């Protein structure tokens, strides 16, 4: 769909929502960090072996249970990119809004558990997946909006809440969804808004100090 003026304010609104989701992700990561920090501190008196082994075992049990309940949470999200777009953004979606929202929140929890229990992995790809899920939810709530606008904007704006790569994320999303220069304007507005709210206001620094 061609660029229209309302997309500017839509990008700004998506940026604000993405900032809230970024902060939620950071809070969950911080909570799980404190939980596993306390577990390790309790196990220090029991010996180094238990201190190193028990947290990954607990993390693996939590991850396995959530993966069993919500199969779309398996992995970093690369395997379900096309699945979300194909089945979550059609006229009669096969993925309900509740399933998508539960999957997105569960992915935030798994991100925090994985990062703090000893597993190896990055933070960018899971946040991109959460963004795609949020875009699918938005399209189901407002089906008159273009799918590409919802998905391309949300996909990168959550991750850009605390990753200072607005131009890189904007170009990447535009290339993935085959968008033109004008159609990329909402994406850039969303990523800048999200980053400004989370980092520009000092909120990220406040969270990190806690």
pLDDT digit string, tens, across residues 131-151:
999 999 999 899 889 988 999
The 3-class SS string of the chain reads: CCCCCHHHHHHHHHHHHHHHHHHHHHHHHHHHHHHHHHHHHHHHHHCHHHHHHHHHHHHHHHHHHHHHHCHHHCCCCHHHHHHHHHHHCCCCCCCCHHHHHHHHHHHHHHHHHHHHHCCCCCCHHHHHHHHHHHHHHHHHHCCCCCHHHHHHHHHHHCHHHCCCCHHHHHHHHHHHCCCCCHHHHHHHHHHHHHHHHHHHCCHHHHHHHC
**Cβ count near 207 (within 10 Å):** 15
pLDDT digit string, tens, across residues 2-44:
778 889 999 999 999 999 999 999 899 889 999 999 999 988 8
The predicted model gives 98-116 an average pLDDT of: 92
Q: How confident is the model at residue 85 (pLDDT cuts 50, 70, 90)?
A: confident
pLDDT digit string, tens, across residues 181-200:
888 999 999 999 999 998 88
Amino acid 208: pLDDT? 67
């Amino acid at each position: 769909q061609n660029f229209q003026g309302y997309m500017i304010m839509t990008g700004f609104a998506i940026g604000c929502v993405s900032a809230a989701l970024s902060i939620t992700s950071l809070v969950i990561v911080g909570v799980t960090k404190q939980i596993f920090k306390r577990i390790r501190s309790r196990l220090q008196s029991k010996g180094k072996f238990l201190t190193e082994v028990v947290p990954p075992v607990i993390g693996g049990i939590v991850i396995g249970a959530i993966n069993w309940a919500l199969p779309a949470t398996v992995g970093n999200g690369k395997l379900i990119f096309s699945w979300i777009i194909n089945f979550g953004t059609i006229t009669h979606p096969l993925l309900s809004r509740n399933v998508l929202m539960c999957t997105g929140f569960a992915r935030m929890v798994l991100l925090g558990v994985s990062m703090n229990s000893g597993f190896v992995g990055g933070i960018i790809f899971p946040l991109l997946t959460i963004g795609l899920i949020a875009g699918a939810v938005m399209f189901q709530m407002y089906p008159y909006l273009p799918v590409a606008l919802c998905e391309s904007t949300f996909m990168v704006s959550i991750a850009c809440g605390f990753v200072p790569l607005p131009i890189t994320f904007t170009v990447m999303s535009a290339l993935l969804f085959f968008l033109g220069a004008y159609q990329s304007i909402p994406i850039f507005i969303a990523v800048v808004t999200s980053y400004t709210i989370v980092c520009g206001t000092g909120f990220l620094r406040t969270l990190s100090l806690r």
